[in-house]
């Protein structure tokens, strides 16, 4: 009987040791080391969440601009990066630019607002507006045909022959190339290069 009790006690001790070891191993497995596959997945999920969040903020800012009757938002471009909103394009006067910035700042999720809006030159006529539309179309066509310029990432607006480029590009060479291509288009008086360089890490 004593031998049986001793045997059961030894067996219990061995099982306890094995279980403790298993628990420790499980806990060690849960820990995520920097640079591991799990960490990379977490970072990817985080990046995707940020992208979705920025898209939602952009949509809400555009809605706020359209809803404000004191703002002509037709020529205003909105871009969001990690909650930082950039407004670019043309407005009728400085008051509209200020209202646009105020409207953007009031949107939930906006961390800051960068104002790159330009006031339209006085004396814009229907004829000049049609000419501006033609210039914008021609610049976009030149970008599409160019092997260096990422045309889908660049917003083009024109006012009285003054072309504004906005958006994000991967390096300064691309930004300079886009400006050079735009300047070569007939009817372009000058180019306001508001392209932001966002180099990949």
Looking at residues 6-24, what average pLDDT do you find?
49
* Alpha helix positions (H), the chain: 2-30, 37-67, 94-105, 126-145, 172-183
What span, in angstroms and rounded, lies between the C-alpha atoms of 1 and 7? 10
pTM: 0.54
* pLDDT, averaged across the chain: 79
Q: How many CA atoms lie within 13 A of 6 on its CB side?
A: 3
Q: What is the pLDDT of residues 145-170, one digit of tens each?
A: 999 999 899 999 998 899 999 999 99
Q: What is the pLDDT of residues 98-115, one digit of tens each?
A: 999 999 999 999 999 998
Query: Residues 158, 133: contact at Cβ < 8 Å?
Result: yes
Q: In percent, how much of the chain has pLDDT > 90?
A: 48
> CA dist 145 to 106, 141, 157, 182, 198, Å?
40, 6, 18, 12, 23
What span, in angstroms and rounded, lies between the C-alpha atoms of 92 and 119? 6
Residue 183 is encoded by which pair of tokens?
């300047």
Query: Residues 146, 177: contact at Cβ < 8 Å?
Result: yes
What pLDDT, on the 0 to 100 scale, is given for residue 19? Answer: 47
Residue 4 is encoded by which pair of tokens?
């049986």
Query: Residues 163, 180: contact at Cβ < 8 Å?
Result: no
Span of 22-26, 40-44, 156-160, 163-167 with lowest mean pLDDT:
22-26
């Amino acid at each position: 009987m004593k031998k049986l009790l001793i045997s059961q006690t030894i067996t219990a001790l061995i099982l306890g040791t094995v279980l403790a070891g298993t628990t420790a191993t499980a806990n060690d497995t849960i820990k995520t080391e920097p640079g591991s596959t799990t960490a990379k997945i977490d970072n990817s999920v985080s990046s995707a969440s940020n992208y979705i969040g920025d898209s939602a903020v952009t949509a809400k800012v555009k809605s706020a601009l359209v809803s404000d009757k004191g703002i002509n938002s037709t020529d205003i471009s909105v871009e969001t990066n990690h909650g930082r909103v950039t407004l670019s394009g043309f407005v009728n006067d400085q008051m509209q630019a200020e209202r646009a910035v105020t409207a953007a700042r009031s949107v939930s999720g906006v961390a800051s607002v960068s104002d790159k809006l330009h006031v339209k030159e006085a004396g814009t006529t229907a004829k000049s507006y049609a000419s501006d539309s033609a210039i914008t179309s021609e610049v976009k066509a030149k970008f599409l045909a160019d092997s260096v310029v990422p045309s889908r990432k660049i917003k083009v607006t024109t006012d009285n022959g003054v072309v504004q480029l906005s958006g994000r590009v991967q390096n300064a060479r691309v930004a300079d190339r886009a400006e050079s291509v735009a300047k070569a288009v007939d009817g372009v008086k000058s180019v306001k290069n508001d392209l932001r360089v966002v180099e990949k890490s």
